[in-house]
């Protein structure tokens, strides 16, 4: 560990100890080596969920600008505070020189604005770089798909920010409404986050929109940790010290192995997380990227909770999508679902196989069967065409 990194870690440790949460965990305020640091107990989501929202604060409430929560899909939500400086830093973490934002760009933000953080820091990032933003929160009755697509065409939106699934749904809904995606829209770049993005799925989105896709990896708790360059590689931010721990024994993974991502924030005011166990499975390797960015490259394999277990064998979501998208007997794969049944994985795909082959097996470490279903059986695009009528409050009968 170099002296500069040791200094930054010690600064975060000292600041974190201002919160009652880390005072109760009795973490040291200073360390002398990496071996000392690795003795500090991990911070786990359950601890944060079971704490008072105010226990985690390392600054006075007067310095707080925003409060967010993780969605709590696997339990109680995790409280997350951002100071004014934290919001500025989080926006800067999204900066991507390959995206090359200008004052001429019109950026449509389709992340949900309610309680989660991506929409807010993307808004700030675009504004600080001179772009115009159009906030069209996903999940809102005010902005159904037809209205969003009409806005995108009428205002000649150049950048779309959303999760990968949303980018696909918008493109497919546009086609269903009669748009020519490559001609009717001016999208030149798509910023995606919130889901594990396999390179081949990124390619599908790029082909649907005829636009470059940039991936962003992070969480509500940590803000953005890595940004993909024009070559599709996720480069890690200098604002974090990242560890990869073996899934079985919890020891540090040697060289460039796969394991749990553990995050320490080095530039956070409100609540600097120390050795935070994210639950994500990643690889981190040294950069040899042609883009010139020498920061480490991360490969995100998905959430541990999304690990696919069949019998005694398992695979990550990344490995499943690798097998799915590289299968030679498939046409375009857009919408699919899966479930386990009697020690076999069943994968349901909208569409038809390539040629006459129907008995398709994916290259996975357990028995599996691909079943083709009718269009719209998995994702009913027609339901997305509905325009909900919105009215202001009326006080007259």
pLDDT tens digits, one per residue of 332-384: 788 999 998 878 999 999 877 776 666 788 999 999 999 888 888 999 998 89
Q: Which of 256, 286, 306 lies at the terminal end of a domain, its last residue?
A: 306
**Which string of DSSP letters, residue by residue, matches 78-147?**
PEEEEEHHHHHHHHHHT--TTT---TT-EEEE-S--SS-SHHHHHHHHHHHTT-EEEE--TT-TTS-HHH
Listed in order, strand segments (DSSP E) in the chain are 64-69, 79-83, 106-109, 132-135, 159-162, 189-193, 212-219, 223-228, 234-236, 240-245, 258-265, 276-285, 297-303, 308-310, 313-315, 336-340, 345-350, 368-373
CA–CA dist 331, 200 (Å, integer): 13
Q: Establish if 251 belongs to a structural domain.
A: yes
Tell whether 246 and 314 lie within a shared domain: no
Q: Give the confidence band of 75 by pLDDT, cuts at 50, 70, 90.
A: low
CA–CA dist 127, 313 (Å, integer): 47
Tell whether 92 and 223 lie within a shared domain: yes
Q: Which of 286, 306, 326 lies at the terminal end of a domain, its last residue?
A: 306
Q: Give the confidence band of 397 by pLDDT, cuts at 50, 70, 90.
A: low
Segment 195-208, tens digit of pLDDT: 999 999 999 999 99
Average the pLDDT over 11-32 and give the result.
96
Q: Establish if 394 belongs to a structural domain.
A: no
Tell whether 145 and 219 lie within a shared domain: yes
Tell whether 294 and 314 lie within a shared domain: no
Tell whether 340 and 265 lie within a shared domain: no
- Strand partners of residue 373: 350
Two tokens, residue 99: 């995206």
Give the angle subtended at the CA of 122 by the CAs of 214 and 282, to the nearest 5°.
50
Tell whether 337 and 355 lie within a shared domain: yes
Q: Which of 253, 273, 306 lies at the terminal end of a domain, its last residue?
A: 306
Q: Establish if 268 belongs to a structural domain.
A: yes
CA–CA dist 303, 195 (Å, integer): 9
Does pLDDT of 301 surpass 80?
yes
The domain of 336 spans 308-383
* Residues 81 and 271 sit within 8 Å (Cβ to Cβ): yes
Q: Establish if 64 belongs to a structural domain.
A: yes
CA–CA dist 145, 168 (Å, integer): 12
Tell whether 204 and 241 lie within a shared domain: yes
Q: What is the pTM of this model?
A: 0.93
pLDDT of residue 271: 93
Give the angle subtended at the CA of 393 by the CAs of 392 and 396, to the nearest 5°.
120
Tell whether 313 and 275 lie within a shared domain: no
| Residue in the block written with tokens 């985690």 | 56
Number of domains present in the structure of the chain: 2
| Residue in the block written with tokens 């541990």 | 304
Segment 135-158, tens digit of pLDDT: 999 988 899 999 999 999 999 999
**Residues in the chain, how many?**
397
Tell whether 312 and 186 lie within a shared domain: no
Tell whether 193 and 323 lie within a shared domain: no
pLDDT of residue 389: 55
* Residues 55 and 79 sit within 8 Å (Cβ to Cβ): no
Average the pLDDT over 69-89 and give the result.
86
Tell whether 302 and 313 lie within a shared domain: no
Q: Give the confidence band of 73 by pLDDT, cuts at 50, 70, 90.
A: low
């Amino acid at each position: 560990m170099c002296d500069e990194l040791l200094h930054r870690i010690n600064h975060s440790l000292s600041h974190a100890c201002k919160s009652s949460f880390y005072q109760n965990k009795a973490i040291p305020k200073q360390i002398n080596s990496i071996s000392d640091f690795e003795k500090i107990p991990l911070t786990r989501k359950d601890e944060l969920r079971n704490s008072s929202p105010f226990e985690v604060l390392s600054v006075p409430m007067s310095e707080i600008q925003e409060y967010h929560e993780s969605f709590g899909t696997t339990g109680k939500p995790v409280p997350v505070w951002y100071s004014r400086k934290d919001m500025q830093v989080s926006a800067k973490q999204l900066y991507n020189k390959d995206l090359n934002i200008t004052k001429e760009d019109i950026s449509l933000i389709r992340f949900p604005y309610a309680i989660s953080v991506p929409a807010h820091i993307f808004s700030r990032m675009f504004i600080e770089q001179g772009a115009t933003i159009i906030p069209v929160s996903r999940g809102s009755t005010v902005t159904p798909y037809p209205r969003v697509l009409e806005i995108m065409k009428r205002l000649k939106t150049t950048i779309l920010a959303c999760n990968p699934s949303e980018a696909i749904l918008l493109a497919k809904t546009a086609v269903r409404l009669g748009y020519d995606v490559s001609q009717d829209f001016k999208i030149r770049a798509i910023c995606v986050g919130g889901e594990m993005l396999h390179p081949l799925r990124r390619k599908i989105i790029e082909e649907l929109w005829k636009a470059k896709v940039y991936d962003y990896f992070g969480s509500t708790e940590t803000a953005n940790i890595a940004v993909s360059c024009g070559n599709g590689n996720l480069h890690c931010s200098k604002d974090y010290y990242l560890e990869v721990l073996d899934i079985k024994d919890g020891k540090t993974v040697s060289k460039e192995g796969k394991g749990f991502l553990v995050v320490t924030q080095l530039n956070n005011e409100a609540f600097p997380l120390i050795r935070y166990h994210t639950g994500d499975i990643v690889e981190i390797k040294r950069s040899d990227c042609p883009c010139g960015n020498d920061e480490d490259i991360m490969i995100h394999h998905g959430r541990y909770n999304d690990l696919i277990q069949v019998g005694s064998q398992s695979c990550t979501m990344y490995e499943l999508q690798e097998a799915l998208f590289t299968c030679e007997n498939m046409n375009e794969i857009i919408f699919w679902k899966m479930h386990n049944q009697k020690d076999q994985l069943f994968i349901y795909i909208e569409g038809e196989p390539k040629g006459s082959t129907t008995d398709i097996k994916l290259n996975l470490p357990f028995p599996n069967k691909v079943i083709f279903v009718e269009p719209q059986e998995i994702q009913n695009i027609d339901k997305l065409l509905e325009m909900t009528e919105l009215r202001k409050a009326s006080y007259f009968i």
